[in-house]
Structure 1
Amino acid sequence: MPTTPPPTGRRTFLAAAGLTALTVGAAGTAASGTAVAAGRPPEHKAAGSGWHSDPDRRTFTVAVMPDTQYLFDGTSINPEPVEAALRHLLDHARDENIVFLSHLGDLVENARAEEFAPLSKVFELLDRRRAGYSVLAGNHDIDSSKDDQRGPSAYLDTFSPHRARRLPTFGGASPDGYNTYHLVRAAGRDWLVLALDWRLSPVGFTWANEVIARHPKCPVILTTHEILYADEASAEARFSSYGERLWDELIARNDQIFLTLNGHNWPAARTTRKNDAGNDVHLHLTNYQDRYYGGSAMIRLYRFDLDRNTIDVSTFSPWQLARAARGDANVLELQETELTGPEDRFSVAIDFEERFAGFAPVPPRPARPASRMLLPGTVAYWRFDTGAEDGAPVDGSLRVRDLSGHGNDLVRAAVPGSPADALRWSAEHHPDQPGHGSLRFDAAKSPLRGAFFRTVKGAPLDTATFRSGFTIEAFFKLPADWNGSRNAWAGILSRQGTVGAAGKTGDPAEPVVTLSVSDGHGLQWAAAPLNQPGLVGSWGHELPLDHWWHVAVVNDGRRSTLYLDGCPVVRNAEVAANGLTTLGLSWLFGGYEYGGTLDQLFHGWIGDVRVTERALPVGAFMNA
């Protein structure tokens, strides 16, 4: 809180049994600068073992603990909630991939050594496991009338840089010791956490700006005690006067700072502001000391998911949850175990690659030579990175070579009367596509118009039955103007010849093999296996438009599975499927026949296509 530290003992809290009883006796500070207290919590069940986090997993968690001051107030010492929170983080470090804990200051109420001592003992749980964490001074932890040049303090005796440098995440400290930075390895990169004092001096501002400058490619999470406040619950957060200064002199000018976290005020709130580079900075206020039992060492988990481009945030008290699970919680605790209001449980959408592009752009994946794509068993491989001008019409006499060397070349065909630009070269491609180019098909129905390809006469692919299995892969994108009434049931790749002509049951007009886009712009795989009387199919979900996808159909000789971006779809038929029926006719690339007559053409982009006469694992797909 912003007030001057009040006299000891003005608050009275209900007594409650802790998760683990701590015996706190006389306390003092050691000359080395590390707090010492009598009494020691029992060892954690995994004490001495390392901190378990995966630095490459694309989901990870940063834990945040705001003001705990009311738990350490003069002779009223209640370390159990903090201990429960830290034990929870240790116990769930692996499954939650917890990489760091940030305490936001106001660790204690009156800045006294005897208050810091029991808290110090609890934090030894993290020290022994070498868990990454930071602490910072709030106004109740030091002489709040001074900035970070204040000199010695019980806070600095307890949480000195000397103590922090034993941890693997510690990067360094300002000369005064009140500001630290930490490098956290997560999702395959370094993230910088700044832990800044209650009040930065001009020296402190210079130090913080220099730290960021020395780590020019690191996204930065800035933590300090005060930036925001809110007038009432559910109100948008506003800058305090000091918060405005932080914004002007540090946050706005450093594009790397994308998230700030502070305590000090309540209620919890958040806001977003554009920095000098025009990018969003997410600013969050979290503090629960006004709630029952001083907030019970509430923690927030910031769960980063780089694949979903989301940070999911939840707030709860491990101490109260444990008491509730044992049946020990009182009526007030049961109301506080987990907070689910809009400022306590929410998600933040961040396109991480786009947000960090200004200082750490992700280099595009380079093109890969065709020779690297010719895995054993490859019987056809087509790609369209010929160097043709982007947007240029495809010549009517074009013959696309089968790069596998098996002679399954493609020749262009078109509906009579279609414009020359119904099929164009394009520089667009899936980011993981080996060839950096594609074909742009512009087709419609009623009347049918457009162009497509077919395999050349006598192509070995036309008679292949794939009894030992197969993998068919393609990259494609449907444009924003794709419409079911005009563009549905177009084949990415299909085989001429009808079910009826092949002597199979079902709709006799259907082709014997097709990988198509349905009327709900989802994928359909429908094929007549050699060992079944009719078609066996798989269905994908409705796909977002204007997005590149990789599709694969894999058959291991027993069953076919449709994959999107390496993920199996739910509606894969649990039916035995061996081989593919053929009438010795051509394959159509971008075309689909019904009743043996051209019925629909693809509308959108198609990139690299590969056919392999064996089942490939996901890790061998072209997008891997």
Structure 2
Amino acid sequence: MKRALALLAATALFSAPAVAKETSFTIAAIPDTQNYIDYTHQTAEGFKFDANAMFLEQMQFIADHAKSNGGDIAFVTALGDVWQHQTKHIDPEHEARGFKWVPNPIMDTMFAPTQKVTTVEIPTARKGYELIAGKVPLSVVPGNHDHDAMWTDANHPAAPVFKDMSSLGMLHAGGLDNFRSLFGADQPLFKGRPWYVASHDGGADSAQIFTAGGYSFLHIGLRFDAPNASLEWAAKVIAEHPGLPTIISTHDYLTNDGERVPNPIIDNHAVDPDDNTPQMMWDKLISQHDQVFLVLCGHEHGQALRVDDNRSGNKVWQVLADYQDRRQTAIDAGAKLQQGEGIGDGWMRLMKFDMAGDTPRIHVQTYSTHYKKRSKDTPQYAAWYKAAEKPKLSDEQFHGQDDYTIELTGFRKRFGPGR
């Protein structure tokens, strides 16, 4: 009897304790950070405060709440426009193909090419992303501002009279050497990371796999107005990972009215037919692959949710978040900004997945690392931002745009019960 009791005690001592099944996790979605990193928004250039501090606060928040640090952030996706400026009038590849840059009074004043991209803006981005390097799987997609050049093509010249930004003339973004210098597949952020499973064009497009909530998820990051080669590569990656629930992040996809139409100021497809509009990305790629259940984007100021059935009859949730034009921090500091110019005020998306129950769900929350509050806990939220973003909504409805729940109907049927 004593021997039996001793054996039971030893078994209890050395056996691993039962581990509860993980049923929840968070994806952090970082919308356009360009106004934080913009070299003109720093005290060195005479600005009222260093806006880059808000960017670094966001990255430190993510590091502190990563699963590797005991938090619940399992994946990070940055939605493009990491920095603000470009280094060239036109990139050599497009110039060699016969495209021609023409002067544009607005662009040449507000976004003139500058080497401060490489001496100030990219180093700031590097400092921020190094805070989370190795702590959590992540993706960064290039937005239009992250390209080497953003130019008006000779076939779409700027109008002679400038009444507002819509008269810019059609812009095109080209060249990604600057982006690859930090976010390329061979750079320290990604090289050798087991979760970084594929890349295209040196990392201009990329794929990651992360495991959370009992599932392995495939994530694909696509560049701004992804060209045909990018979509073909993405389709191949999906085929190589059958059955994995798949998320796609890209820069320009939804307007804040939930339409899949390009920004009228910069539409790469209008200049170069090889590039794809948001609707073309839906038609050619997203709707064709039943594994894709979620699409995340930035670029268009504001927020939106759109749900469509793919060709298999299953739902695809498409989510926009972009807070770059929010400027309450600048107002409070007495900083003078041009019309349409913002800072961001530290707002980002936290998408909390609850995989328990028959129907998994995502609680979409909007959180400011500057104010250290969720949108729904900020009494001034509608007064600060509604007029510029969704003026026709009631305050309650506006709050609902940034704090809501997505029921992932049919998720178990598509992807199984999980582990």
- TM-score, with normalisation over the residues of structure 1? 0.44
Residue deviations 1:322-344 (CA, integer Å, cap 9, x gap):
8xxxxxx9x999968xx971111
Which one has the bigger strand percentage? 1
- Name the structure 1 match of 2:144: 139
Q: Distance in 2 between matches of 1:86 and 1:303?
A: 18
Distance 2:212 2:176 in 1: 34
After the TM superposition, which of the residue ranges 287-296 and 137-146 deviates more from structure 2? 137-146
Match of 2:369 among 305, 318, 322: 318
Find out whether 1:83 has 2:45 as its counterpart.
no
Alpha carbons of 1:205 and 1:274: their partners in 2 closer, same or farther (altered >3 Å)? same
What is the number of residues matched between the two proteins?
Answer: 293
2: CA distance, partners of 1:116 / 1:168: 25
Change in 2 beyond 3 A, CA 1:63/1:157: same
- Counterpart position of 1:273: 308
Matched, 1:104 2:79: yes
Query: 5 Å matches for 1:411-422?
Result: none
The equivalent residue for 2:255 is: 229
Describe the SS at the equivalent of 1:348: strand
Counterpart-to-counterpart distance in 2, 1:220 and 1:130: 22
Helix, strand or coil at the partner of 1:270: strand
Q: Which runs of 5+ in 1 are unaligned?
A: 1-53, 231-235, 323-328, 366-624
User: 2:20 and 2:176 mapped to 1: Cα distance?
Assistant: 36
1:165, distance to aligned residue in structure 2 (A) = 2.5
1:185 to 198, 207, 211: 211
Match in the other structure for 1:463: none
AA partner of residue 239 (structure 1): R
| 1:447 alignment counterpart | none
- How do 1:197-212 and structure 2 match up within 5 A? 197-212=223-238
Displacement of 1:144: 4.8
2:413 is paired with a residue whose SS is coil
Return the offset for 1:295: 1.2
Question: Cα offset for 1:148?
Answer: 12
| 1:2-401 aligned within 5 A | 57-77=22-42, 78-94=51-67, 96-111=71-86, 112-114=117-119, 115-127=121-133, 129-142=134-147, 143-144=149-150, 152-163=176-187, 164-230=190-256, 236-241=257-262, 242-292=277-327, 293=329, 294-308=343-357, 309-321=360-372, 341-351=399-409, 354-355=410-411, 357-358=413-414, 360-362=415-417
Q: Which runs of 4+ in 1 moved over 6 A?
A: 145-149, 331-334
Unpaired segments ≥5 residues, structure 2:
1-18, 43-50, 87-116, 154-170, 263-276, 330-342, 386-395
- Specify the SS of the correspondent of 1:81: helix
Q: 1:148 to 1:170 in 2, by over 3 A?
A: farther
Deviations 1:441-485 (A, max 9, x none): xxxxxxxxxxxxxxxxxxxxxxxxxxxxxxxxxxxxxxxxxxxxx
The answer to whether the 8 Å contact 1:132/1:168 transfers is no
> 1-side partners of 2:135 and 2:416: how far apart?
32
Q: Which residue identity is paired with 1:107?
A: V
- Post-superposition shift, 1:183? 0.2
Question: Aligned to 2:66, what secondary structure does the other structure show?
Answer: coil
Whether the 8 Å CA contact 2:24–2:354 is kept in 1: the answer is: yes
C-alpha deviation, 1:80, in angstroms: 1.1
Rate the CA distance shift 1:198–1:314 in 2: closer, same or farther, 3 A.
same
State the distance in 1 between where 2:346 and 2:193 align: 23
Flag the 1:317–1:166 CA change in 2: closer, same or farther, 3 A: farther
Cα distance in 1, alignment partners of residues 369 and 60 from structure 2: 9
Task: Give a deviation string over 1:244-282, Cα, whole Å, max 9, x none.
Answer: 011001100011111111000022111111110011111
Which residue of 2 is the match for residue 418 of structure 1? none
Aligned to 1:422: none
Once the two structures are aligned, what percentage of the paired residues are identical?
27
Using CA pairs under 8 Å that are at least 6 residues apart, name the structure with larger relative contact order, 1 or 2. Answer: 2
Q: Distance in 2 between matches of 1:283 and 1:117?
A: 32
CA distance in 2, matches of 1:62, 1:91: 14
Q: Which residue identity is paired with 2:355? A: L
- Are 1:148 and 1:178, in contact at CA under 8 Å, matched by a contact in 2? no
* Per-residue deviation, 1:55: 11
**Largest Rg, 1 or 2:** 1
Once the two structures are TM-superposed, the CA of residue 190 in structure 1 deviates from its matched residue by: 1.0
Secondary structure at 1:199 match in 2: coil
- Residue in structure 1 matched with residue 340 of structure 2 by the alignment: none
Contact 1:263 1:287 in 2 (8 A): yes
Task: Report the Cα distance in structure 1 between the residues aligned to 2:123 and 2:323, rounded to whole angstroms.
Answer: 22
Amino acid at match of 1:246: M
Please say if residues 64 and 71 of structure 2, whose CA atoms lie closer than 8 Å, have aligned partners that are also in contact: no
| Displacement of 1:319 | 2.0
Distance of 2:346 and 2:182 partners within structure 1: 19
Q: Distance in 1 between matches of 2:318 and 2:296?
A: 6
Distance 1:361 1:122, change over 3 A: closer
Match of 2:126, SS state, is helix
After TM superposition, give the deviation of residue 321 of structure 1 in Å.
1.8
CA distance in 1, matches of 2:381, 2:362: 30
Contact 1:182 1:192 in 2 (8 A): yes
Q: What is the rounded CA distance, in whole Å, between the counterparts of 2:231 and 2:381 in structure 1?
A: 42
Q: 1:144 to 1:280 in 2, by over 3 A?
A: farther
